[in-house]
Structure 1
């Protein structure tokens, strides 16, 4: 099968965001996505720095947030720099091996986002529904185990799909109507039988996405039931406010994921798919630091502390 694979196309052509971009449009897109990428990296690095420097934030909630910020930096860096290089060089080709590598890391970080959002929902459930047992339940060992287990499962899951994709033949058309190597357009280009790939995506990858979502849903149902039993309005608002940032990220992330991968392909155009992909792969990682820094007083205070330390050294 390896020899047969060498007879298939050796590279793909990424059409990018626009199929017939003008020079002025290319420059505008380059500046726009460069600005968004820098905002993503700097914003998430600031969250990481603030959490690491403030000892008050060395608790499970912010340990998971720091991991989410790290994953968002890696996720965006897997897609945007290649896209920027394509705009800068005017070359939209990507080799077969580089395409599979990009697909591997894109979906590994997507899976990690899934798992971390679920773990953060569980952390909020324990903090609100079982506050007296929080320290005993959310130990450092459990937090490390949850994050490590997420990395292992995400890598094994995506490795399976990548190995299956590597066995496919791509004989004629090598044009991908996307700005990164996504699994759906790749399967459409293959001249091999993709039945096994599609079945594995339906069952295994679907389970990887749905199970964390159900965990989040159940956690917030139980949180809501607990909060509604709080007698004072101020107490209920304070409990809900600790979940606001996380819920905003969940809605952004899962909204675009469901739109892209759980809708019939005939229900929306290629341009709509690309817009949704930009939303979850570029915009959402950029907005996450703003969601947490603007809604969370602890993060605001830690960021101010970082800023004061930085300017005092100048």
Structure 2
């Protein structure tokens, strides 16, 4: 669609195109002409949308704080799920996971060798030495936010302690690699480098994603890769970075009983941390964590 300099900008800001995204589009066109992959307009958020995502993330962050204050040895993952559901609803929000493609619960609780999508149950009781990822996603006023944290139950092994720590470092390295007008591959390269230096592997089958207007948007964000490759990262993009790091091999399998929960193929431990990131004119903003 051709837009005149004095027409309203395509982003919905109500500003004239020349005062808003004209130079931005010209820069993108140059990159496209050079053979780079550029983001579609529909995944670039305007100020109103970013504020909506921030409001959703405020609730999402509070939920994870609530989990942090209550999670303990002896409780079931179903209790965690109910805690999250009740609080989310009390805030006028909706758990984004609930009924998403038939997913039956409000959160994902992935323990030890579970890579992701662990389903809460009254039969799963947290034990001393467990490591667990609690993944929370929230819809508020039509906007989505998404984040997860690792929790150590009681006294965990040195191996588990190190894996949880290095996985968090991988997340931080991935965020540090995000630069406006950089590349998607920069994120994966930084994460993979740090994981493999520590003797770990990076899960290939799952990754981060765009988020905000929908739960899952473009682009897919791999946590391995080559610097300088992939889609161009531009201001206004909102993505999750959520490395899944395995103590052993990166391969996995999905539990045939529930068709959701992914386990490490070799039974080794797995860890994951997730933040939602806004790419800004001069760097990044962590929106949900």
Q: TM-score, normalised by structure 2?
A: 0.29
Larger radius of gyration: 1
Bigger strand share: 2
Higher relative contact order by CA 8 Å / sep ≥ 6: 1 or 2? Answer: 1
Bigger helix share: 1
